[in-house]
A = this chain, B = another copy of it.
Amino acid sequence: MEFDLIDAIRTRVNIARDDVALSVGDDAALTRVAPGQQLVACVDTLVADVHFPRDTAPEDLGWKSLAVNLSDLAAMGAVPAWALLALTLPDADARFVERFAKGFAELARAHDVALIGGDTTQGPLSVTVTALGTVPTGEALTRAGARAGDAVFVTGTLGDAAGALRLLRDPGKGAAHAEILFAHLNRPRPRIAVGLALRGIANACIDVSDGLLADLGHVCVASGVGAELEGEVLPLSSALTAVFDAATCRELALAGGDDYELCFTVPADRTSDVAPALAQAGCDATRIGRVVAGSGVRVLDAHGNELATPQAGWEHFSQ
């Protein structure tokens, strides 16, 4: 079982990399990390009805299970290389696996990620992906480098995935814009090129998976600083603003999960380097605030007054 299903997916993914000496089909895989590179490793699990609705299309689940991990590699400034897939299914549903593999493969091919191992087990539906990549030694972006005075940026737009989840609870609403919002929820695009472009520019970086406030909060704790956000410049998609009022949009942008954008801090004298670097990566970023001495994340209005913030972060066990 283990061998067959994972090998079927590997065949579908069909990425040949000359740094893979032995792939799916033995007790473990063998790969080569080039000299001067560090190995970058992360793992994330998606559980049915906790991290995704059970009726999510298998193609979307395949894509997303890899995307959330590649997003973590992106936040480190790493180049993805290999993945291992642990897929737990209620039954041996070949059609599900085929469709799952299609979505997984689509994203894997986009980033030249080889599926080198895995395990298929019977049980309640969940997916755990381990993503492995490399970064030149000493050049990784981390959460710990933010300094008071840095500017805070975020890529893309915020709150779209959380907006899609709201639409699920209120199906009549926003039909004209649902497709765009659900694309953010189901097919997040890991910002690999952005992470690479930010090496040597950003002081700190994190991917926004649990909501901007929570994730920027992690950066603040790791760096021993605070942050102030300008609540009225948060980047919002026209789809989101068309469906929700301004207060809801801000709440979704600050506290909604599943954005998979990158939030990063840049020294004040390097902020002019951001736009050209991001343009090369084919992505926009918005300057949304600044790093300050102290601790915690505050959100300010245009007059510098503190706004009430929604409950920070999206914690699995507090749902």
Interface, chain A (partner B; CB < 8 A): 1-3, 21-22, 25-33, 35, 38-51, 72-73, 75-76, 78, 82, 84-86, 88, 91-92, 116-124, 126, 128, 130-133, 135, 137, 140, 142-144, 205-207, 218, 222, 315-319
CA A88 to CA B43, docked complex, whole Å: 13
Output the nearest chain B residue to A82 by Cβ-Cβ distance. Answer: B41
Output the nearest chain B residue to A69 by Cβ-Cβ distance. Answer: B28
Whether the Cβ atoms of B122 and A124 lie closer than 8 Å is no
Whether the Cβ atoms of A43 and B75 lie closer than 8 Å is no
Whether the Cβ atoms of B47 and A319 lie closer than 8 Å is no
Whether the Cβ atoms of B222 and A25 lie closer than 8 Å is yes
Q: Which of A85, A117, A131 has the most CB of B within 10 A?
A: A117
CA A45 to CA B22, docked complex, whole Å: 21
| Chain B residues within an 8 Å CB radius of A29 | 40-42
CA A229 to CA B88, docked complex, whole Å: 34
Nearest 8 CB-CB pairs, A to B? A47-B123, A28-B42, A27-B75, A124-B124, A27-B72, A33-B33, A130-B130, A43-B84
Whether the Cβ atoms of B50 and A122 lie closer than 8 Å is yes
| Chain B residues within an 8 Å CB radius of A25 | 143, 222
Whether the Cβ atoms of A28 and B40 lie closer than 8 Å is yes
Quick one: copies of this chain in the complex?
A: 2
Output the nearest chain B residue to A35 by Cβ-Cβ distance. Answer: B35
| Chain B residues within an 8 Å CB radius of A218 | 3
Q: Can you list 16 A-B pairs with a CB-CB distance of less than 8 A?
A: A1-B315, A3-B218, A21-B38, A26-B144, A28-B72, A30-B140, A31-B41, A32-B38, A45-B119, A45-B123, A47-B124, A86-B86, A122-B317, A122-B319, A126-B126, A130-B130
Output the nearest chain B residue to A124 by Cβ-Cβ distance. Answer: B124
Please give 9 more A-B residue pairs, beta carbons under 8 A apart, in addition to A32-B39, A45-B123: A25-B222, A30-B38, A31-B38, A35-B35, A45-B88, A51-B121, A122-B316, A123-B126, A126-B126
Smallest CB separation, A6 vs chain B (Å): 10
CA A85 to CA B130, docked complex, whole Å: 10
| Chain B residues within an 8 Å CB radius of A142 | 22, 26
Smallest CB separation, A27 vs chain B (Å): 4
Whether the Cβ atoms of A206 and B27 lie closer than 8 Å is yes
| Cross-chain contact of A137 among B32, B50, B144 (Cβ < 8 A) | B32
CA A186 to CA B120, docked complex, whole Å: 21
CA A31 to CA B22, docked complex, whole Å: 21
